[in-house]
Structure 1
Amino acid sequence: MSVSVLKRFYKTVAIEPADGGFEVRLDGRPIRTPAGRPLTVPTEVLAAAIAREWAEQPEKGEIKPLDMAMMRLAATAIDRVTVQRRKVIDDTAKYAGSDLLCYRADAPTDLVVRQVRVWQPLLDWAAMHYGARLEVTAGVQHRPQPASSLTALTEAVAGHSDFGLAGLFNLTAAMGSVVLALAVSERHLAPSDAFAAAELDALYEIEKWGEDSEATLRLQRLRRDVDAGARFLDLLGRARLL
């Protein structure tokens, strides 16, 4: 049973132990990923969250995949990460080469001060925690980062399990910062604070000039993505390799 736009076809949703973890069953039949693989997840709480997403679909109407973030991330882990783990590691870690936190404004002064106050402690944390010192620049011109720092952050990314990588990549891509994503994964930073850091410039503009509907919708989508990635990691118990 793959995730697609279709009418609800099941009455009961349950979770059961399975080889390697737990599975969700619809009318007694185990769910499969879009690629047809068994959807077996490593923790019971994640299975329960996925089961809840299926159970909350309207009894009469179409299934809404956009409301099933845990299902989507679990399927991504199984269908994508397990078959191309190295690529997902590299795709995630490459954000360190142009991490959002390293590119600062040169004006106005209050924005510059705010960026330093919010972003610099996170870069300092990455330097202390991973030995990954990243260089900061003003403007958008690319600034190369120390090779040793990029290697250290790649190793930090690679320390996640396949399921953990799915959540970490989701966070990294949403925020444009592998440092922010790792800070959430390590419980150094709350998801709400990570979102605020990622959208510091946009939130500053809203304070100055007010909201517009397009910007508000974009921020809502981003907040939903950040919350989903963080919750997925929480349900995995952080899913770190031993």
Structure 2
Amino acid sequence: MRDILNDLDASRHLSDPDPVRRAQIQMQTPLPKRFYKEVSVDRGATGHVVKLDGKVARTPARAPIELPTGKAAQLVANEFAAQEEVISPVTMPVMRLANTAIDGVSREADAVLEDILRFASSDLLCYRAGAPEGLVRRQNEAWDGVIDWARDTLGARLNLAEGVIHVEQPREAIAAIGLHLRPRSDPFRLAALHLMTSLTGSALLALAVEAGERDTETAWKAAHVDEDWQIEHWGQDAEAMARRAARRRDMFAAARLIEALNQD
């Protein structure tokens, strides 16, 4: 099912899930030249379309790039406008999310929602370190508030575990998260929520960002408490940090799209 959530561009520019490897492939593969001069947003059949030189831009499956709000469409238009001599899809995360929503998620919304719930059933925030004390404290500080929010606001009382051994979550808790997700099942919002969930390993962090309970930077840092602890004690790897930077860019793009969907 997750195949539909991968970049749906038929070209080789986005052919590898690793953003560093993808960038390497991109450098080896000639990118299409920018063929348009003007980018605009206009009213479409059901929302707002992105136009290139007056013609509606299309997804890899040849569907119109049409988003529910003008603000959301403008995000995609801005990415097209920012391209210079060539069009580099890896620098257009909102456009890629829109393609995913239109060509994939719109046909499989229930499957995407279920995938988010699978993340929730083994959510990052539920698996805690037993030691060292400093890491335990950081996890508690970054994660406990979101766990409490899920309990008090969503009605999802989740079990916590020490270590990585799977802990079964109450059906009622997962059902409560599903109930919260149902009104958020439009393809664009769902695609953004799924991306944030997969990037952080936490459906709760994604939902907290969508609800305004956590800002994107705070959620991103919360998702990397363990990694940052390791970096502080063992140093950082340049390639790993490049991958993290690419994921961070995509995380913030998803959050911007959600914010734009809330505006006309």
TM-score where L is the length of structure 1: 0.93
Q: Is the 8 A contact 2:65 2:102 kept in 1?
A: yes
Q: Partner of 2:174 in structure 1?
A: 150
Matched, 1:37 2:63: yes
Which of 198, 201, 222 is 1:173 aligned to? 198
State how far apart, in whole Å, the 1-side matches of 2:32 and 2:124 are: 39
Q: Partner of 1:86 in structure 2?
A: 110
State how far apart, in whole Å, the 2-side matches of 1:216 and 1:50 are: 26
Q: Please tell me the residue identity of whatever aligns with 2:43.
A: P
SS in 1 for 2:43: strand
State how far apart, in whole Å, the 1-side matches of 2:235 and 2:65 are: 44
Deviations 1:43-90 (A, max 9, x none): 1111111111111111x3x21001111111111111111111110111
Q: Partner of 2:77 in structure 1?
A: 51
Q: Please tell me the residue identity of whatever aligns with 2:67.
A: V
SS in 2 for 1:135: coil
Deviations 1:135-190 (A, max 9, x none): 00011100000000011112222221221101100100100000000000001001
State how far apart, in whole Å, the 1-side matches of 2:90 and 2:243 are: 15
State how far apart, in whole Å, the 2-side matches of 1:47 and 1:79 are: 16
State how far apart, in whole Å, the 1-side matches of 2:178 and 2:193 are: 12
Residues 161-240 of structure 1 mapped to structure 2, 5 A cutoff:
161-237=186-262
Structure 1: 5+ residue stretches without partners: none
State how far apart, in whole Å, the 2-side matches of 1:148 and 1:172 are: 20
Q: Is the 8 A contact 1:3 1:65 kept in 2?
A: no
Q: How many residues align?
A: 236
Which of 106, 110, 134 is 1:110 aligned to? 134
Q: Is the 8 A contact 1:164 1:238 kept in 2?
A: no
SS in 1 for 2:213: coil
Q: Is the 8 A contact 2:69 2:263 kept in 1?
A: no
Q: Partner of 1:77 in structure 2?
A: 101
CA shift for structure 1 position 3? 8.1
The percent identity for this pair of structures is 42
CA shift for structure 1 position 218? 2.9
Q: Please tell me the residue identity of whatever aligns with 2:207.
A: L
Q: Please tell me the residue identity of whatever aligns with 1:183.
A: A
Matched, 1:125 2:149: yes
State how far apart, in whole Å, the 2-side matches of 1:54 and 1:117 are: 40
Q: Which moved more, 1:28-37 or 1:173-182?
A: 28-37
Moved over 6 A (4+): none
Q: Please tell me the residue identity of whatever aligns with 2:34.
A: R
Q: Which moved more, 1:156-165 or 1:177-186?
A: 156-165
CA shift for structure 1 position 222? 2.5
TM-score where L is the length of structure 2: 0.85
Structure 2: 5+ residue stretches without partners: 1-8, 12-30
Structure number with greater CO (CA < 8 Å, separation at least 6) is: 2
Query: CA RMSD of the aligned region, Å?
Result: 1.6
Q: Please tell me the residue identity of whatever aligns with 1:190.
A: D
Q: Is the 8 A contact 2:75 2:257 kept in 1?
A: no
Q: Please tell me the residue identity of whatever aligns with 1:154.
A: G
